[in-house]
Amino acid sequence: MASIGLNIGLQALLTSQSALDIVGHNVANANTPGYSRQNLGISANGALNLRGLSIGSGVHADIVNRTVDNLLQTRLVSQSSALARLDSQLDVMGSIEALLGEPGGLGLSAGLDSFFSSISEFSSSPSELVLRTGMVQSAGSLASQFNQLATGLSTLQSDTANQVKYNIGQANLIAQDLVDLNGQISEIEAAGMPANDLRDQRQQALQQLAQHVDIGYTEGSNGIVRVTVGGRMLVGETRAYELKSKVDQTGGVTLNIEGSTIPLNVARGAVSGLESLSQGYIPGLQQNLDHFARNFILEMNRVHSTGVPASGGFTQLTAEHAVLDQDLDGELRDELLSRAGLPFDVTTGSLYVNITNDNTGATNTQRVDIDSSSTTVGQFIDRLNEIPGMNASLNGSGKLQLNSNAGVKFDFGTRLDSTPDEYGSFGGGAASLGSQGAGPFALSNGDTFDFTGPLGAFSVSVSTADFAEISQATAAELASVLNADANFQANGMRAVDVGGRLVVQTTNSGATASFDLTGGSGIAALGWTAGTTVTGQTTSVAPTISGSYSGANSDQYSFVPLGDGTIGTTPGLEVGVYDQNGLLVTTLSVGEGYAPGTELEVADGISVSFDFGSLSATHGDVFAVDLLADSDTTDVLVAFGLNGLFTGTDAATMAVRADLENDPNLLAASGSGASGDNQVLLDMLRMQTEGLEGLDGSSFNEFYNDFVGDVGFKVSSTSNAREVEGYLMENLELRREQVSGVNVDEELVKMIEFEQNFQAASRYIQVVNDIHNDLLQII
């Protein structure tokens, strides 16, 4: 009996001691992260049948329990994944935000402001060299701001990629730890012992791993946890599979796991956050910035390329961008102009080239038509070479090179040709006969034109081969047929295309210049009658154009007299003005009452004046003037990089044209070449607020504001999400603390409880012992 009593007491003592040990362990680990409170499972021993009574045989300690909520742990793991993703993103985005430096005086916005300020300042004193240099310099600093932003973004992208690598490395280390922990736990638990503290460590490791990559995990019956990433095994029963990252050329990162080449999709965790930045967001920003820079370069160069530098027209220009051999046949000239590898698009339209004589200052404007679907590089170059005084070729590196002959300069300005009647076909001194209307003319094969010149009669015949379509013969085609004729040349005659009309004239002028149109089968198509004699005159009407064209689209006005008569003399003499579609623009009264030399307003800001002389509608007098709203509607100058302000095609490559930076006089501020003309500058200033097609109708400012706003919005929404997720995490951690955390007071209460228990058990043993002694004394 006594031994039973002592045994009960001993077990009570031992149990209390174990409980006190666990209290001590709990208190000791009160601040250990991930530690789960442990407690001792105690149960009463079975009853013994003594003295006909069923008497309990004391207490024993069963097991050390770990208080843990597994569901909560799982949620904590996944929540830390979500949080880590946002944390990693916020970090990088903060850097992007700092890189932009907005709002304030340091960002690109301020750079744009100062660029446009310098233009505005220069435009009010366009002959000041200091302001000219200032504008070039501020263009340079704007370009370098673009460069810095581009470099900053790509550095951030590569940094982000490196961070992904670092995170992957950490994840692999933790995976290795997990394998070790799995082994120890299964070993201990196979022996029937709970591996409480190791499990806590493993849980902690899982949570850390989840911060790097988004994981899923399941625990097997043997206590081993398997971890998967994106559906692929990361930690198996016996080994970990290595995560690998690859950084591609564009700075994007791809992940895969050992034994598989399929890219891994990770939705959460720091790696996914960084990956989405380096693969999606930062490239998106770079793309937007490049798009912005590209359009900025395009628009500024569009305006600048048609300007004239302070140093006057050009004698030599070399393109920035080379033509590329797209069809790889070793021949560059056969490339379609719009698909010749040039960085900017070439569209259908016209380029106007002005050739100015150095001595006389006379300007000859020539139109070069480009059809984006058919014009080849070779055709374009050939057409440029047709312009008198102009030489175009591709240099060894495939870049277009333009040179002018000695004594002439070329430019692409929108200036008016003030003396447009270059052939004297409008009451000029030469004997001149114009067609009665603009082409095309319905000729047929073998049609003849019979003339009598100073050397006698001759006939010129045309054949189908001379025309693209003989029934639709153009004035230019017919002119080249006539000009190629030996008799025609020998008689001192020439044929020219004036505003689509064919004009045949003598090369010399004065009252002695004369020829006859005697007949021919082709003359009716041109509205001519046989037996027409034309004679030159001593006075020349020499029309003069003034003003500046304000129309929205480029046009060509043809001026033709509506009757025969003398300027300022013949009653009712009128000149009709037709646009390039043949529609009447206006009629001008130049007969009796008109004082020769008086300016008459035509339309759209231009005026014309006529000198004394006679006009003949019968002889088809005509002159045409090109009115340029935009001297390059094709963007071919921008595409080749001719006379641009900026070079480069995106934010990283943008720069001020090198020769222009060295010599600010090459800055083409003027539309006419006059020192005080600031047309180009004013056009640039207008671009500041204009909605641009390339930017989907936004202006530069609006687009850039969107760009900045987008970053700001992303940062603020990420930071809001971070706040919410952080709160959730805190909440979950609190819940975990509630379940598994150690309350020292609670432990102290338990300690007192078991201390008292221990004392009671000691007392009980003493009592049992006393009883024994009492009994022994009796003996």
Partner 1 sequence: MNLRPTQSSKFALVNSGLSLNFAKLALSQERIATGKRILRPSDDVIGTAKSLATRKQMSRIGNYRDAIESSRPYLESASSSLQDVSGILSEARALITQGMSGTLNDSDRRIISGQIEQLVDQLVDVANSQFGERYLFGGTLSNDPPFSFETVNGTRRVVYHGDDEVQRVQIGAGTEVGINVPGSDIFGLFEYAGAQLSGSTGATLGTSANQGTGYADLIFRHDATVGTPGAGIALANGGDDDTILQDHLLTVDATAGTVTLGNGTAVPIPQPGDADYADFVVETADGAEVHLDFTGWTGVDTGATLSGAGSVSLDGVNFTPLAFTETDLELVDSESGTVVHLDTTNVNRAGTELLGFQGGVNIFDALLGAASDLKNSSSLGSADFLARMTDRLGELERNQENALSALGTLGARTERLNDSAERLGAMDVSLQGVLSQIEDADLATVALELSRAEQTLQLAQMTGSRLLQNSLLNFLR
Contact set for partner 1, span 625-684 (CB under 8 A): 670, 672, 674-678, 682
Minimum separation from the CB atom of position 720 to partner 1 (A): 10
Site residues for partner 1, 682-721, by CB under 8 A, read 682, 685-686, 688-689, 701-702, 704-706, 708-709, 711-716, 719
Which DSSP state fits 516?
Answer: E
Q: Does 773 participate in binding partner 1 (rule CB under 8 A)?
A: no
Evaluate whether 332 touches 377 at the Cβ level (below 8 Å): yes
Amino acid letter, 472: Q
Helices (H), 413-464: none
- Residue among 101 and 389 whose Cβ is closer to partner 1: 101
Minimum separation from the CB atom of position 607 to partner 1 (A): 10
726 class by beta-carbon count within 10 Å (0-12 exposed, 13-18 middle, 19+ buried): middle
- Residue among 37 and 199 whose Cβ is closer to partner 1: 37
Minimum separation from the CB atom of position 546 to partner 1 (A): 6
Helices (H), 29-128: 70-100, 108-124
258 class by beta-carbon count within 10 Å (0-12 exposed, 13-18 middle, 19+ buried): middle
Report which of 580, 587, 527, 531 is spatially closest to residue 555, judged by C-alpha positions: 580
Query: Given candidates 739, 753, 760, 769, which one binds partner 1 under the rule CB under 8 A?
Result: 739
Kindly list the strands in the beta sheet with 584-589, ordered across the sheet, starting from the edge strand earlier in the chain. Answer: 584-589, 574-578, 555-561, 623-627
Rounded to a whole number, what is the largest CA-CA distance in the chain? 176
Q: Does 759 participate in binding partner 1 (rule CB under 8 A)?
A: no
The Cα 645–Cα 124 span in angstroms is: 20
Query: Given candidates 1, 2, 28, 30, which one binds partner 1 under the rule CB under 8 A?
Result: 30
Minimum separation from the CB atom of position 751 to partner 1 (A): 9
Q: Which residues contact 542 (CB under 8 A, 6 or more apart)?
A: 419, 421, 424, 428, 610, 611, 613
| DSSP code per residue over 203-238 | HHHHHHHHHHS-EEEEE-TTSPEEEEETTEEEE-SS
Site residues for partner 1, 520-559, by CB under 8 A, read 538-539, 546-548
The beta-strand segments (E) located in 550-682 are 555-561, 565-566, 574-578, 584-589, 600-603, 606-609, 614-615, 623-627, 646-647, 655-656
Site residues for partner 1, 588-617, by CB under 8 A, read 592, 594-598, 611-612
- The interface mask with partner 1, positions 395-434, x = CB under 8 A, is ----------------------------------------
Q: Does 123 participate in binding partner 1 (rule CB under 8 A)?
A: yes
The Cα 375–Cα 380 span in angstroms is: 7
The Cα 384–Cα 350 span in angstroms is: 12
Q: Which residues contact 510 (CB under 8 A, 6 or more apart)?
A: 429, 536, 537, 538
Q: What's the alpha-carbon Rg for the chain, to the nearest Å?
A: 47
- Residue among 252 and 712 whose Cβ is closer to partner 1: 712
Q: Does 512 participate in binding partner 1 (rule CB under 8 A)?
A: no
Minimum separation from the CB atom of position 303 to partner 1 (A): 14
Q: Which residues contact 471 (CB under 8 A, 6 or more apart)?
A: 440, 442, 443, 444
Q: Does 568 participate in binding partner 1 (rule CB under 8 A)?
A: yes
- The interface mask with partner 1, positions 32-71, x = CB under 8 A, is ----------------------------------------
Query: Given candidates 12, 19, 493, 567, which one binds partner 1 under the rule CB under 8 A?
Result: 567
Terminal Cα-to-Cα distance of the chain (whole angstroms): 17
Stretch that binds partner 1, among 45-53, 339-347, 728-736, 761-769 (CB under 8 A): 728-736
Minimum separation from the CB atom of position 26 to partner 1 (A): 10
Q: Does 741 participate in binding partner 1 (rule CB under 8 A)?
A: yes
Stretch that binds partner 1, among 123-131, 147-155, 359-367, 389-397 (CB under 8 A): 123-131
Site residues for partner 1, 85-114, by CB under 8 A, read 93, 97-98, 100, 102-103, 109, 112-113
- Residue among 321 and 750 whose Cβ is closer to partner 1: 750
Query: Given candidates 125, 218, 374, 472, which one binds partner 1 under the rule CB under 8 A?
Result: 125
Stretch that binds partner 1, among 41-49, 486-494, 563-571, 623-631 (CB under 8 A): 563-571
